[in-house]
A = this chain, B = another copy of it.
Amino acid sequence: MDKMTDTIEAFLSLRRKATINDVARLAGVSKKTVSRVINNSPSVHARTRDAISEVIARISFQPDPQARGLAFRRSFLIGLIYDNPNAQYIVNMQMGVLDRLRGTGNELVVHPCDWRSDDFIPELRQFLEHQRLAGVIILPPIAEDRRLLDLLDEMEVPRVRVTARAGASNQPTISGQEIVSHDHIGCAEASAHIALLGHRRIGYIGGNLDYPSAHERRRGFDAGLAQHGCAIAPDLDEGGNYSFASGYEAGQRLLTRPDRPTAIICANDEMAAGAYKAAYESGLRIPQDLTVVGFDDAPIADRLSPPLTTVRLPTRDMARMAANLLISPEPSTISHLQVDSKLVVRGSSAKAPNP
């Protein structure tokens, strides 16, 4: 025992990064046995395991991911693939993934891409062929792209999709694991909230229909209103594309009508901010003259005056869950994890003005 300690100290004085060979030598076993300990192989005697673990701790050995990856024929990198302009969303997702990855020896490789490009699939194929990723997480809207999913299947890359649409909807079922956000829950809360405030003439500014979220949210808003026997006025049903500009323009159209709405529901906060601008320019006060609600709880939501009533999705948690599906030791049989959105009431919603 003393002799071993001596040798360890001799090793430490070298100030060199430890390898599996060092551990094997210092513990007096073969490197294969050390490898077994690292990988929690069952057939190692408890005594041996403890001795080796001791040495590993003393010389703070960490297996080299490159070497391990080479032998395993896969890396310890998780890829995050997306084409999404919402910076806060992306950063939240990254944080969530990293929350789960921290301490596991896996790292996060970010890979934004251009969905519209002809090169979209070839570029991703090259990326995936080059890096043998431990897994990838795909964010909306490209989580719906069949070509991408097929590519991942073909290359046998473990994947988790993040999406707003449950596989059960009109889309053909997509196999594999997914995190499904129930956008409609919070939306129903939000629109019910508006109905309860007495609004009956209600306008809508919708999201980009390429995004499943646009459909999910609309579904939720409709449901919440229906609960109270009301609905979005058909003549106040505007299409948008999730951008500030589209919200502004739709807002102008809605608010310059003689029979303008007393409340506007927006499929995201960006468009709600656009609606604010239109309201401001029309001389309408929020919430006295006009109620506005959004979706996302984006940073802009509480920068607006008054702060925006909106719906929040636990983005970071979703990312954590996605990462967990990829790296948790026992391959989960669960393929669909669902999370709910939630109404956040702030200052932009108030009782409908008396007629």
A residues touching B (Cβ–Cβ < 8 Å)? Answer: 17, 62, 64-67, 69-70, 75, 77, 87-88, 90-92, 94-95, 98, 105, 107-112, 126, 129-132, 244, 270, 273-274, 276-277, 280-281, 299-300, 302-303, 305
CA separation between A281 and B273, bound complex, in Å? 18
The answer on a CB contact under 8 Å between B112 and A109 is no
CB distance from A12 to the nearest CB of B (A): 14
Complex CA distance for A128 and B66, rounded to whole angstroms? 13
Contact of A110 among B94, B130, B305 (CB under 8 A): B94
Q: Give the CA-CA distance A64 to B69 in the complex, in Å.
A: 11
Chain B residue with Cβ nearest A62: B130
Interface centre among A87, A94, A108, A244 (most CB of B within 10 A): A87
Q: How far is the CA of A280 from the CA of B304 in the complex (A)?
A: 11
Q: Tell me the complex Cα distance, A281–B244, Å.
A: 23
Known: A70-B66, A94-B112. A299 touches B75 (CB 8 A): no
Give the distance to chain B from A101, nearest Cβ to Cβ, in Å: 10
B98, A112: Cβ atoms under 8 Å? yes
A107 touching B131 by the CB < 8 A rule? yes
Give the CA-CA distance A274 to B300 in the complex, in Å: 11
How far is B63's CA from A132's CA once the two chains are assembled, in angstroms?
12
Docked Cα-Cα span, A322 to B276, in Å, equals 39
Q: A17 to B70, Cβ gap below 8 A? A: no
When A and B form their complex, which 4 residue pairs have the shortest distance between CB atoms, in order from nearest? A87-B91, A87-B87, A87-B88, A66-B69
Instruction: Assess the B305–A277 pair: CB atoms within 8 A.
Output: yes
- Output the least CB separation between A290 and chain B (Å): 15
A119 to chain B, nearest CB (A): 11
In whole Å, how far is A320's beta carbon from the nearest beta carbon of chain B? Answer: 14
- Assess whether A108 is in contact with B110, with CB atoms less than 8 Å apart: yes
Q: Cβ of B109 and Cβ of A107 under 8 Å apart?
A: yes
Chain B's closest residue to A130 (CB) is B62
How distant is A294 from chain B, measured CB to nearest CB, in Å? 13
**Contact partners of A244 in chain B: CB under 8 A:** 302-303
CB nearest neighbor in B for A75: B66
- 28 interchain pairs (CB within 8 A)? A62-B126, A62-B129, A64-B70, A66-B66, A66-B69, A66-B70, A70-B70, A77-B107, A77-B109, A87-B87, A87-B91, A87-B92, A87-B299, A88-B88, A94-B112, A98-B111, A98-B112, A107-B109, A108-B109, A108-B110, A109-B109, A244-B303, A270-B303, A273-B303, A277-B305, A280-B305, A281-B305, A300-B300
Report yes or no: B91 in contact with A130, Cβ–Cβ below 8 A: no
What residues of B have a CB within 8 angstroms of the CB of A111 in the complex?
98, 107
Shortest C-beta distance, A240 to chain B (Å), equals: 15
Question: Which of B98, B105, B108, B130 interacts with A105 by CB under 8 Å?
Answer: B130
A63 to B, closest residue via Cβ: B130
CB-nearest residue of chain B to A69: B66
Identify the closest chain B residue to A281 (Cβ): B305
Nearest residue, chain B, Cβ from A90: B91
Query: Min CB distance, A344 to chain B, in Å?
Result: 17
Complex-state Cα separation, A132 to B64, whole angstroms = 9
Q: Do the beta carbons of B70 and A67 come within 8 Å of each other?
A: yes
Cβ–Cβ < 8 Å partners of A65 in chain B:
130-131
CB distance from A77 to the nearest CB of B (A): 8
Give the most central of A64, A107, A280: most B CB within 10 Å: A107
Nearest CB in chain B: distance from A73 CB, A = 9
